[in-house]
Amino acid sequence: MLERETPAAESPTAIFEALLRGEQVDPAHALEVMRESGFVDASPARLAILHEEGRPPSFMRTMRLLDDVRKALPKANAFVHEDKVVASVAQPDSEARASVEAFFRKAGTPALVMGVSHPISSFEEVRRAYRQCEAALELGSGTIRRYEEVISTDLIRQLPASLAPEEYCPKVAYDIVDYDRANGTEYAWTILRWLRHFKDPRRVAEELHIHVNTVRYRLERAS
């Protein structure tokens, strides 16, 4: 994905949009631009999408929201993409959560919602994080919708058929699959059934025809 250069990718927004389109970018140049802008740094960040739900897109409202986000979250890098505000918040989770919740209390916009991704640590993960934000907005409830809160639902079944499930998975999912392949274990398959049965180990045991303690052991090992 990152072997060829994408022309004119001279700003965080341009690189961001190129990544979302699946285009290939020069990794060294892209990382330099993103770091200079504060979009990524050495610490993990959360990607977030903010928009007014159930209201027609408005350029002026979106730009006002962008200004509000920049004032309330000065440590975040924020810009507009497709009539939505996208922000990268590079703070420890507890600080980021407190900042975001304080912003929502002050915003006073009933229709304002926010989708939050898993932590990301490099610009290569931006595309996946953006898809996670979209899934959180579509499947979650409340004002601030975190991807962690919807991943335990039968997420894959609810996603549009045109989208690749891999784009929604956190990196740890791939790590577990790789471990299974190398060691002949079935942790990933067990976790999948566990999530689809709403974290009920007894139903997983019934489906896989194994003892419930075996399910619990696999989940403990995978964690």
Q: What is the DSSP string of 2-66?
A: -SS--TT--SHHHHHHHHHTT----HHHHHHHHHHHTSS-SS-EEEEEEEETTS---HHHHHHHH
Q: How does pLDDT run across 21-68, given as a tens digit for each residue?
A: 777 777 677 666 666 655 555 566 788 899 888 888 888 888 988 898
Judge whether 49 and 84 are in contact, CB under 8 Å.
yes
Residue ranges of the chain with pLDDT lower than 50? 1-9
Q: What is the pLDDT of residue 170?
A: 66
Q: How does pLDDT run across 57-67, given as a tens digit for each residue?
A: 888 888 988 89
* CA gyration radius, the chain: 19
Judge whether 178 and 164 are in contact, CB under 8 Å.
no
